[in-house]
Structure 1
Amino acid sequence: MGNLSLVTIVIIAANVIISLKGFNDYSFFEKYKFNIGAIQRGEKIRLFSSGFLHVDMSHLFFNMFTLFIFADVVVSRLGNFNFIVVYIVSLILGGLLSLYLHKNEYQYSAVGASGAVTGILYAAILLEPTMSLFMVFIPIPIPAYVFGIGYLLYSIYGMKNRLGNIGHDAHFGGAIGGFVTTLILRPSLFQTDLLMIGLLSIPIIVLFVMHKTGRLN
């Protein structure tokens, strides 16, 4: 983990350049951020452009550092082009899930690469489920699949209780994008890692059931 391929450098550079532009140009930020009302009026570009804007430097750094950590797993297993496919699909699905869940909240706005980055993170976990992750607040290594399941279950909790100023739904939508796209690109995983696919799909099933039974709101 943590190597920098050219495609990763380009994506990080795009996020940095566009975010810095947004920090210093309010009208630019407002024009391209995710906003329910504007998207429903036809400004679909915001579903994509908002993924390259960030609130501040710490928001930008956290997303890009997470991308830096997990990107090379996906690049090495799927290749540069498929890495971009996973990134973009995750970005768009993160936005679409937010759009669906907040469709009646016309003032709802968001920015950040979190959906795309979470998609890459979940794709990396699917491809290397037994790799160990070290968390600052936990002194022992955590299997990647345990972290992935826990993270999405926490995202569901965050969506239900609207915890903090965080787009938990975009994170979840991005994870679904990374999960599904990786399975499409690497169908052999159904033969080699079927149990892990089942485990990692648990939070997605939980979200679906909660939504259908009205327990998400």
Structure 2
Amino acid sequence: MGKIDLITVILIGANVLISYKGFNDYNFFEKYKLQVDPINKGEQIRLVSSGFLHANMQHLLFNMLSLYFFADVVLMHLGNVKFLIVYFGSLVLGSLLSVYFHKNEYHYSAVGASGAVSGIIYSAILLQPGMKLMFFMIPIPIPAYIFGVGYLLYSIYGMKKQIGNIGHDAHFGGAVGGYLITLLLSPWLFSTNLLMVVLLAIPILVLLVLKKTGKM
């Protein structure tokens, strides 16, 4: 990886600081987490604020490492403004779909940057499908799209097991957001990276079918 971009630093810093505040301040955490009933009553700020809170350090680290790996690719291809459109658009869509999926569960709550990060991951893979990642524990380069698909498989596991307050449904919504927003901002991808456009649509459709058939 090259030099980390300032926008990435700011986003990671905001996530770390706000999450740390939430770890140590129960009232703050409760006030700004995603929760269906308060949102239905007008507290729409939770759709965004919940994306800067995390359930624990492991959850925070996983999301921030994923953002670090993929953010520069999106910034390089789309620029600062469009990057932020993808990030916050994916975050909000992930939150909205979580609320929709759990609209009758008034006490349902979730936190995490999962929606935004899933959107950035999908955007980066669409824009640079040949990119590869190196991990300390695996000595060979891994195609980025494998990581992206694995990220969504983790979402499936999380949704099925309903792990903690983590917004696993937002992984799905964020991936859809990143996928659609990037294609809208870069329609040339249909001609240059059509295979990846189709491949990345498959796990999104699988998640949607599983959700609709009640198997999640």
Aligned to 1:194: 194
CA distance in 1, matches of 2:124, 2:206: 21
Letter of the structure 2 residue corresponding to residue 162 of structure 1? K
Structure 1 residues 93 and 216: CA distance shift in structure 2, 3 A: farther
TM-score normalised by the chain length of structure 2: 0.90
Contact 1:190/1:197, CA 8 A, preserved across alignment = yes
Kindly report which structure 2 residues correspond to 1:120-139, keeping only aligned pairs within 5 A, or say none.
120-135=120-135, 139=139
1:143 maps to 2:143: yes
Cα deviation for residue 135 of structure 1 reads 4.7
Cα deviation for residue 173 of structure 1 reads 1.0
How many corresponding residue pairs? 215
Aligned to 1:12: 12
Structure 1 residues 179 and 56: CA distance shift in structure 2, 3 A: same
Aligned to 2:74: 74
CA distance in 2, matches of 1:184, 1:146: 23
CA distance in 1, matches of 2:56, 2:210: 33
Aligned to 1:167: 167
Gaps of 5+ in 1: none
Aligned to 1:58: 58
Cα deviation for residue 122 of structure 1 reads 1.4
CA distance in 1, matches of 2:62, 2:151: 16
SS at match of 1:79: helix
Cα deviation for residue 151 of structure 1 reads 3.2
Q: Deviations over 1:89-138 (max 9, x none)?
A: 11111111211111111111111111111211111111111212235665
Structure 1 residues 2 and 35: CA distance shift in structure 2, 3 A: farther
1:179 maps to 2:173: no
Cα deviation for residue 187 of structure 1 reads 0.7
Gaps of 5+ in 2: none
Structure 1 residues 29 and 155: CA distance shift in structure 2, 3 A: closer
CA distance in 2, matches of 1:57, 1:116: 18
TM-score normalised by the chain length of structure 1: 0.89
RMSD: 2.0
Structure 1 residues 154 and 59: CA distance shift in structure 2, 3 A: closer
